[in-house]
């Protein structure tokens, strides 16, 4: 999921990338406990009828389900934020509980959307500058990556070029008055 915010008064952009999560941590725990009760309940009934071998398999099944839910819930807390302010592009990311930060000069930033070398594999979306790169949106679909690449290219180059061409300190203020509130939500993709 990509959330986009534009502040025309400050000529700044902000993109927030998060995985699309259908279960909160609390809902995942409730689901897991419900599945444990149902599975072990059925296993106990069969064990009482003499098929005791079903109990260890039901236990292994619930351990595997618990591990999968834990991994999915942990990945649900990952995010990436791209902020474009003035002459800098800042990328903050939280991946597996660790936060990373990277900053680039806006004038030298390249947004690159590379096709996958092998058919059927996901493409790569990167921000590059001076030999350093950051991969963005690993949790996004191909359509969301294309949308984000277009929006990032516009954001990196548009306000800077317009401000340079107008040469007016009131340009951003004029844009604010034209757009109404100064902040507009471009929208969510993939919702």
Dump pLDDT digits (tens) for 171-180.
Answer: 333 333 333 3
pLDDT at 37: 96
The tens digit of pLDDT for each residue in 18-72 reads 888 778 889 999 999 999 999 999 999 999 999 989 999 999 999 999 999 998 8
Each domain of the chain, given as residue ranges in start order, spans 2-21+81-189, 25-75
The string of pLDDT tens digits covering residues 97-119 is 788 898 998 888 888 888 888 88
Q: Could you tell me how far CA 27 lies from the centroid of its own chain?
A: 21
Burial of residue 22, with CB atoms counted within 10 A of its CB: 0-12 exposed, 13-18 middle, 19 or more buried? exposed
CATH number, domain 2-21+81-189: 2.30.29
Q: What is the dihedral of CA 106, 110, 111, 116, to 10 degrees?
A: -160
pLDDT at 167 over 90: no
How many whole angstroms separate alpha carbon 174 and alpha carbon 78? 37
């Amino acid at each position: 999921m990509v959330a986009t915010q534009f502040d025309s008064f400050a000529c700044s952009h902000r993109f927030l990338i998060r995985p699309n999560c259908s279960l909160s941590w609390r809902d995942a725990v409730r689901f897991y406990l419900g599945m444990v009760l149902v599975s072990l309940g059925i296993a106990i009934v069969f064990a009482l009828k003499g098929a005791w071998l079903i109990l260890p398999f039901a236990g292994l099944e619930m351990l595997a389900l618990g591990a999968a839910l834990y991994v999915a819930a942990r990945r649900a807390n990952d995010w990436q934020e791209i902020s474009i302010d003035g002459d800098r592009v800042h990328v903050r990311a939280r991946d597996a509980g660790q936060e990373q930060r990277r900053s680039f000069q806006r004038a030298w930033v390249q947004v690159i959307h590379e096709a996958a070398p092998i058919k059927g594999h996901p493409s790569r979306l990167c921000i590059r500058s001076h030999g350093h790169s950051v991969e963005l949106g690993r949790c996004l679909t191909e359509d969301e990556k294309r949308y984000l690449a277009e929006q990032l290219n516009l954001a990196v180059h548009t306000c800077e070029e317009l401000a340079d061409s107008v040469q007016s300190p009131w340009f951003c203020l004029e844009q604010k008055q034209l757009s109404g509130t100064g902040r507009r939500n471009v929208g969510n993709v993939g919702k």
